[in-house]
Amino acid sequence: MTLSEIIRERRSIRKYQDKDIPRQVLNELLEDALWAPSGTNRQNWYIYVVKGEKKEKLFKSMLQASQVLKPKLDKLFPEKIVEITMNFFKRLGGAPVLLLVYMPKHTYDLSKDMSLSERYKVEYDRFTNSLSASALIQNILLLAKEKGLGTCWLTAPKHAEDTINEEMGITDMELVSVVTIGYPNEDPPAPRRKGEKIEWIGY
């Protein structure tokens, strides 16, 4: 597959086969993904690769997050989509492995009358670290597609972050996202891409 095909044909996978991913395959994928760019090359990211009993416990914590999210989904999407999403959250499509991506915890004070650039200065480290972690996550998604694996990038678990961190024994880091990974058990259609996102200037 060309890179362009990998990018266009990657889909969010919400149903997985009951099949383990060899550790060597995952390790190779993650080592490659870690070549992502990062702000001032800080590489301020941490990946937890979780399966087994701990993963089952995390599924339960993440189910909590979906309850918080439901009223928001009800407003945005038709009933069928909400039902599919809520079902997915029961056991995250049976994903054999969860990747939890973390960054350092940041604390800062924001005041209402800050200008955007003042706010940016205060939030700079968190902003940069979360963008860097996002580049890492996108690498994971694309490399997984290349290896015949499916993924789904999730921020919904942020709604249950305290419970998840307690479960993980993590106190000094912030959860960026969770990525489900496994061999796909579905081939979903591509959601429509919106046009008019590129402005050409001086052409």
Strand residues in the chain grouped as ranges (E):
46-50, 97-104, 150-154, 173-182
Looking at the Cβ atoms of 16 and 88, the one nearer to ligand FMN is: 88
Per CB under 6 A, residues contacting ligand FMN are 11-12, 85, 88, 152-156, 191
**Shortest separation between residue 83's beta carbon and ligand FMN, angstroms:** 13
What is residue 188's three-state secondary structure? coil
Burial class (CB in 10 A: 0-12, 13-18, 19+), 26: buried
Q: Are 61 and 160 in contact (CB under 8 A)?
A: yes
What are the φ/ψ torsions at residue 180 (nearest 5 degrees)? -85, 145
Looking at the Cβ atoms of 114 and 142, the one nearer to ligand FMN is: 142
**Shortest separation between residue 76's beta carbon and ligand FMN, angstroms:** 11
**Shortest separation between residue 153's beta carbon and ligand FMN, angstroms:** 4
Looking at the Cβ atoms of 114 and 131, the one nearer to ligand FMN is: 131
**Shortest separation between residue 201's beta carbon and ligand FMN, angstroms:** 27
What are the φ/ψ torsions at residue 172 (nearest 5 degrees)? -110, 20
Looking at the Cβ atoms of 112 and 193, the one nearer to ligand FMN is: 193
